[in-house]
Amino acid sequence: MTLAPDTLGPTVCIGEILVEIVATTPGNGFTEALPLLGPYPSGAPAIFIDQCGRMGGAAAMIGAVGNDDFGLVNTRRLERDGVDISAIHVDDTLPTGSAFVRYREDGSRDFVFNMWTSAASQMRWNAATEALIARAGHLHVMGTLLMRPEIWAIIERAAGIIKARGGTISLDPNLRKELKADAEMDARFAKMVGLSDLLLPSGEELEVAAGVSGKEAALERLFSLGVKEVALKEGTKGATVYAPGAEPVHAPAFKVDELDPTGAGDCFGGAYVACRRLGMTVPQALTYANAAGARNVTVRGPMEGAGTRAELDAFIVSKTGGR
């Protein structure tokens, strides 16, 4: 078993909590009035932990929202889906973070963010954080957050405490080469990889995480650093799990009509981590993870399609005929 059992304590995710507001028509940007839908609860860490909770895993979130309706949209959704929100700070000064999204004709996206000048920037190590981390069994980290020194300080401290009590760590690199801006960021990222039991990369992120070119060389390097399992997301090809000394395990993608791709990778990760911590085999966890990612893109809104285990079972049957 790669990850600490669910009974040790909840999976904790640290990071931004936002609302997402989506343009209903394709086009470029927001330079004119246009119809919008939302607010939807969002933020990559929040999507991940929501799917983890919906899957039936013990789950908790560390972040911050404003004392406003957008904050309530998020905290109510997370709490409804079984996520412990005791360490989400409600800030009385700054508004909840937001992301306005519009899809272009080619499928790419334009964003207008208010993230680090919003309540999302107010994450702090406080009594509530301390109490949660003291009973946590697993930490999930998003690589992009390592760029924020104040969040890195929380992640590093939490990782040490959780590891010391026998817990485990997973990392979604979520990081492209162009974003690795300086030596300090490189050092944080390398340390995080070295602490991680499970990696959840997509495409080139495997090589970025390893710091070497070529899939086989990257896997060998990661295993030498102590990584025990790599779940490689391969888009329409599905996903493959690699572990030292074991044959790769592949699961094909589910074919769906994509409405909104935002959050697919986060739902994949949330389902996979929850399933592994609940004691499922790699093939079982991988099938649920692929189903979670696929189901989510069929619904507008970044976490609106996150499925419970029963909903994912029904989705799998509908796509496979029960095979």
Tell me what pLDDT residue 181 has: 60
Write b or e for each residue in 15-36: b if 16 or more Cβ atoms lie within 10 A of its Cβ, otherwise e.
Answer: bbbbbbbbbeeeeeebeeeeee
- The chain-wide mean pLDDT, for the chain, equals 94
User: Contact, 30 vs 21, CB < 8 A?
Assistant: no
Most confident of 88-92, 235-239, 260-264: 88-92
User: Helix, strand or coil for residue 63?
Assistant: strand
Range scoring the smallest mean pLDDT among 1-5, 163-167, 282-286: 1-5
Phi, psi dihedrals of residue 293, rounded to the nearest 5°: -65, -45
Superfamily of domain 6-13+42-62+82-95+123-320: Ribokinase (3.40.1190.20)
pLDDT of residue 261: 87
Question: For every residue of 128-184, which 3-state class applies, written as one string?
Answer: HHHHHHCCCCEEEEEHHHHHCHHHHHHHHHHHHHHHHCCCEEEEECCCCHHHCCCHH
DSSP secondary structure code for residue 95 in this structure: P
Tokens for 228? 């025990």
pTM of the entire predicted model? 0.95
3-class DSSP assignment, residue 310: helix
- Tokens for 160, please give them: 């040490």
pLDDT tens-place string over residues 206-215: 998 898 999 9
C-alpha 230/C-alpha 61 separation (Å) is 23
pLDDT level of residue 252 (50, 70, 90 thresholds): very high
The full length of the chain comes to 323
Give the pLDDT of residue 178.
42
Q: Which residues contact 250 (CB under 8 A, 6 or more apart)?
A: 238, 239, 240, 241, 286
Query: Using one digit for the tens of pLDDT, what is the confidence trace for 23-43?
Result: 999 999 999 999 999 999 999
Q: Is 120 helix (H, G, I), strand (E, B) or coil?
A: helix
pLDDT, tens digit, 9 for 90 and up, residues 71-129: 999 999 999 999 999 999 999 999 999 999 999 998 888 999 999 999 999 999 999 99
Domain boundaries, the chain: 6-13+42-62+82-95+123-320
Enumerate residues 6+ apart whose C-beta is below 8 A from 2: 168, 197, 198, 228, 229, 243, 276
**Which helix (H) or strand (E) element contains residue 65?**
strand 59-66
Residue 2: predicted pLDDT: 87
pLDDT tens for each residue of 214-226: 999 999 999 999 9
pLDDT at 179 over 60: no
Res 177 pLDDT > 50: no
